[in-house]
Amino acid sequence: MGKRKFDDNQITGILKEHQAGVTVADVCHRYGISEPTFYRWQSLQSGNVGLHAKRLRALEEENQKLKKLLAESMLSAATLSEMLAKTSKGRH
């Protein structure tokens, strides 16, 4: 397999250029790629969008769980601090 001519960021830029209204033929000519290559990139990119959306949702759910755990532990620590302060006052 040969060396890749374009990295993922460049491919994304090329696909966005087409989405902005430039024809496939013009994009392919400008970057020296074939139309089948362009359409392969497009199909791979659209497949990744679904994967990215699922991953983002999973990360958001995990973030919410972690925020809830943090809030609960902070509340517990505050309650323990108040109880300790009250018992310390009673001893002195």
Give the chain's domain count: 1
pTM of the model: 0.51
For residues 14 and 44, the answer to whether their CB atoms sit within 8 Å is no
pLDDT computed for residue 40 by the predictor: 92
Residue 85 within a domain: yes
For residues 41 and 27, the answer to whether their CB atoms sit within 8 Å is no
Residue 3 within a domain: no
Residue 25 within a domain: yes
What domain range includes position 62? 8-90
The Cα–Cα gap between 56 and 30 comes to 34
In tens, the pLDDT along 30-75 reads: 999 999 999 999 888 876 766 677 888 899 999 999 999 999 999 9
Mean pLDDT over the full length of the chain:
88
Residue 49 within a domain: yes
Residue 83 within a domain: yes
